[in-house]
Structure 1
Amino acid sequence: MTVSLIISTYNYSKALDIIIDAIDRQTYLPDEIIIAEDGNDIETKEIVDSWRNKIASKFIHVNHADCGFRKALILNKAIRLSKSDYIIQIDGDCIPDKYFIKDHLFNAKPGCYLFGTRVHIKKEHISKFLLCSNNNEERLIFSFFSPNIKKRFRKLRIPFLNKFFALKNKISPKFRGCNTSFWRKDFINVNGYNNDFRGWGREDSDLMIRFHNNGLKGKRLKFIGIVYHLDHDEKDKSNFEKNNLLQNESIQTKKIRVENGLLESSNER
């Protein structure tokens, strides 16, 4: 079983540097690391190039023109390039715990996707956090009592407790697309993300709804599979209502495959 880690990012090179540092310290390295950049930022390219020969995993950087929020499209482009059996996704503002890859792989089962939790790094600590030296391991280690985190109970890693979380037949209100994983073949079967989603919101939950429509189940990773989220101001939600209508269509029509998805992603620049 091979695994790709997909990191979606937009103009946040300092955070990306920390995330790749955290990946390099994983107890289990992914076979591929794919940076899915929803834009074309020179600083992001410099960070990717600086790490390309330092980390054992195969490194891929895919980007496109900066034409607004097109996360669904860039994720489709990234997964088209993946050669792995299993896909793990995180956002470019989420720092993985050192057991993150291991936790997702250990719990990967046929007919199931996974979604994990996130611990929040407080906004007032982020500027100082991002300025830490790349050799400073302290920025990647958070204790339960760290003053710079909130929702700290999510930080507890107690693997045996996760056994008590049952598979879900419908999408959970706890689902967050910033920490999720699935089989590549299941993604292909629904034609991936819907490229019609533009602007913030619903592209990730729409995918999971169509997974469920195609017979998959969801499993929450609680007390494992942890990421640390760099809190930030809310994204522009001006297109949210349109995106919500697209998701509602998937629910009401029990849609499985989209017409403008993975296969069509190479047509857009």
Structure 2
Amino acid sequence: MHNRKISVIISTYNAEAWLEKVLWGYHTQTFRDFELVIADDGSGPATEALLHRMQKEVFYPIVHVWQEDDGFQKSRILNKAIAQCSAGYIVMSDGDCIPRNDFLEVHDRRKEKGYFLSGGYFMLPMSISEAISREDIETGRCFDIKWLREHGLKSSFKNNKLTAGGFKAALLNTLTPTGATWNGHNASGWKEDIVAVNGFDERMQYGGQDRELGERLTNYGIRGKQVRYSAICVHLDHARGYKTPESIAKNQAIRQHTRGSKNVWTPYGMQKEEQP
């Protein structure tokens, strides 16, 4: 078994219907030299059963990294998943983001030493999220603006994410006022850089733990590169029961400290200690 060129980390928690659509999305990828590492924050047996079944149907290997359910502990399971990645380059996304067939090709082509890549997502309403079938994913219809409009998508500047190709996508990547931050739903970087800053800060629960990792990478000298109009995934709708004002406030305080102190290392990361 050779080491793959890219490890893709997908976070999930008890959302098999969405995760299955995402797994079919990776089955359509033009770039095929990857493994999928599932960062499972305590799902029940239905997720394990889905992964067992899908492993027989998709071409890529699936590594299932699971931890006991202890509330929203995404940072902790992501650190465990990073440790399990066999590739030197890591793409991170979520179990509710279906990748377009060139998603990994873009991450592979644009990766560069000294940088991480910052992508976005295209948010779909619940009605379309539920309507998307395996066939819609395999044919790429669910990324087609005409098909989405027929299914009730409203007009918006954001639709450019799906329609911009080549030069226009490159131009919009350059012009966008959105900063090149580490976004948990669509970002990638070198494993050695992520390990060098000790991964995610496990004190952080919902809201911004991905950005905080990016801020430490920046402090470490790794620059963000914008690919939001090139590396495309559609985001399926869901409720966010774990989003609380307390967790947001706590995380904002941690991020403020990271930026102010120019910290590169968190003692609450993959290794539980001060910087060696």
Q: TM-score, normalised by structure 2?
A: 0.86
Which residue is equivalent to 1:258? 266
Structure-2 change in CA distance of 1:88 and 1:174 (3 Å): closer
Amino acid at match of 1:178: H
Q: Report the Cα offset of residue 113 of structure 1.
A: 0.4
Distance in 1, Cα, partners of 2:187 & 2:180: 14
Distance in 1, Cα, partners of 2:190 & 2:60: 19
Which residue is equivalent to 1:142? 143
Amino acid at match of 1:29: R
Q: State the identity as a percent.
A: 28
Which residue is equivalent to 1:109? 112
Give SS of 1:186's match. helix
Matches within 5 A, 1:1-269: 2-129=5-132, 132=133, 134-135=134-135, 137=138, 141-145=142-146, 146-147=148-149, 148=151, 149=153, 151-164=158-171, 165=173, 172=179, 176-198=183-205, 200-238=206-244, 239-264=247-272
Contact persistence 1:144–1:153 (CA under 8 A): no
Q: Which has the higher helix share?
A: 2
Contact persistence 1:167–1:219 (CA under 8 A): no
Contact persistence 1:116–1:222 (CA under 8 A): yes
Instruction: Count the aligned residue pairs.
Output: 259
Amino acid at match of 1:152: N
Q: How big is each residue's C-alpha offset from its partner over 1:171-224, in whole Å with a ceiling of 9 and x where there is no partner?
A: 9277632110000010011011111112x1111000000011011110110331
Q: How big is each residue's C-alpha offset from its partner over 1:83-106, in whole Å with a ceiling of 9 and x where there is no partner?
A: 101000111110000000000010
Distance in 2, Cα, partners of 1:223 & 1:139: 17
Structure 2, unmatched stretches of 5+, are none
Q: How big is each residue's C-alpha offset from its partner over 1:77-127, in whole Å with a ceiling of 9 and x where there is no partner?
A: 001011101000111110000000000010000000001121121123333
Q: Report the Cα offset of residue 135 of structure 1.
A: 5.0
Structure-2 change in CA distance of 1:93 and 1:208 (3 Å): same
Give SS of 2:145's match. coil
Structure-2 change in CA distance of 1:119 and 1:166 (3 Å): closer
Contact persistence 2:6–2:91 (CA under 8 A): yes
Distance in 2, Cα, partners of 1:34 & 1:18: 16
Q: Report the Cα offset of residue 25 of structure 1.
A: 0.9
Contact persistence 2:40–2:77 (CA under 8 A): yes
Give SS of 2:143's match. coil
Give SS of 2:38's match. strand
Structure-2 change in CA distance of 1:127 and 1:161 (3 Å): closer
Give SS of 1:141's match. helix
Q: TM-score, normalised by structure 1?
A: 0.88
Distance in 2, Cα, partners of 1:205 & 1:167: 21
Q: How big is each residue's C-alpha offset from its partner over 1:42-66, in whole Å with a ceiling of 9 and x where there is no partner?
A: 1111111011133332220011111
Structure 1, unmatched stretches of 5+, are none
Contact persistence 1:4–1:33 (CA under 8 A): yes
Distance in 2, Cα, partners of 1:34 & 1:173: 24
